[in-house]
Amino acid sequence: MSTAAPRIPAQAPHPLDAADALNGRLRATRTETVANPQLEALALAVTANQPVLLWGEPGIGKSAGLEQLAAGLGLGLETVIASVHEPSDFAGLPVVGDDPATTGVPMAPPDWAVRLARKGQGLLFFDELSSAPPAVQAALLRVVLERRVGSLTLPDAVRIVAAANPPSSAADGWHLSPPLANRFVHLHWTHDPRTVARGMAGTWPEAPVPVVDPARTAGAVARARGAVSGFLTARPGLVHHLPADAEGRGRAWPSPRTWDMALRLLAAGYATGTGRDAVAAALTGAVGDGAGIELLSYLENLDLPDPDRVLADPDAFALPERGDRQLAFLIAVVAAVQAEPTRPRWEAGWAVLAKAVAAGVPDVAARAAMDLAAMRDTDWPVPEGIDAFLELLQLSGALPGSA
């Protein structure tokens, strides 16, 4: 005679099950591709691998924008709340071994740094940066610039992003120290009421993922070098300018470090075809509004020819008429030759410089001539176009044995 198994009473639903299902429905949203310069500027800075700092009031979507970008790039996101950490969390904690006098005392990195190092890539997000006291900001200097956390070096493929509230709206807010501020591209993060309204309906803008075109890379680097170097040659007073007020020193301002950032951002912009407004936001975020606006005005009127096309057929182009365009273009040509220093391209470079001499502006081409001469392989013969610069090059020692 068989006995039936005892019936297990059905488990009653938890009172919050239905609420969790409702919340799950609300989290289900979609994205759409729309023009959004601030998202594009963030994506450009991340693509160019420049540390970027998002400034904005609390609750306007800084973290959400970064999470969306990380998902679009297929990168893991490690979030570190800077304001709740001690300096030793970034400098590392000492770990004493068996014989410190022989092996030294290594500084142990935190777990988030170890995870990023193991993955080899990812986004490192420092939140609430303006709430971090000065001692913590000082400890972050090596992390942001040198990628050193304790005794660990983060891989080059790890991108660094931070977010901060203005000191007036931050909890125990501080102005950023000038050395830390000068290590970031500063982007102003705002909210668009129409975007928020559409998001409440279930559709948010999609974070763009700029892709570098390998075919554009060499030309993009050469154009960017010519533009930035030509601009700073014309405006040497903007190479370095530390603002007088504490708020200004805690934001973007021009220095050799930030001009290098601007160069990389501009090259990435050329190589990815990023929109003008996004490039403008990134450049002013690197060197500040004043210097950035002057640079943008200069770029607007520059309109440089593609140096690689010119090198392919130097007889088919005409030298620009304006002196600032001439200088920027010749710098770009030399940078293009340096990127691929073959004898035909080197000789084509001299043909370009010869046009500057023929146009009656050999002084504009003098520096470019010295740089081009320094690239000469000892087996390459001296081209005819070098004659106009021969005395200058001999005096500088850039062309030994050319007499």
The CATH number covering residue 108 comes to: 3.40.50.300
- Mean pLDDT throughout 39-59? 92
Q: Which two tokens stand for residue 36?
A: 């959004």
Residue 305 has pLDDT above 70, yes or no: yes
Q: What is the mean pLDDT of the chain?
A: 86
Domain around 318:
307-396
- Could you tell me if residue 198 is inside a domain? no
Q: Of 158, 183, 208, which residue sits at a domain end? A: 183
pLDDT (0 to 100) of residue 283: 97
| Confidence at 113, pLDDT banded by 50, 70, 90 | very high
| Domain tally, the chain | 2
Residue 171 has pLDDT above 60, yes or no: no
- Could you tell me if residue 235 is inside a domain? no
Q: Rounded distance, CA 391 to CA 39, Å?
A: 52
- Could you tell me if residue 314 is inside a domain? yes
Residue 9 has pLDDT above 70, yes or no: no
Residue 4 has pLDDT above 70, yes or no: no
pLDDT (0 to 100) of residue 403: 42
- Could you tell me if residue 37 is inside a domain? no
- Could you tell me if residue 223 is inside a domain? no
- Could you tell me if residue 188 is inside a domain? no
Burial of 250 (0-12, 13-18, 19+ CB in 10 A): buried
- Could you tell me if residue 15 is inside a domain? no
- Could you tell me if residue 368 is inside a domain? yes
pLDDT (0 to 100) of residue 402: 46
Q: Of 117, 149, 183, which residue sits at a domain end? A: 183
Q: Of 159, 183, 207, which residue sits at a domain end? A: 183
Residue 57 has pLDDT above 60, yes or no: yes
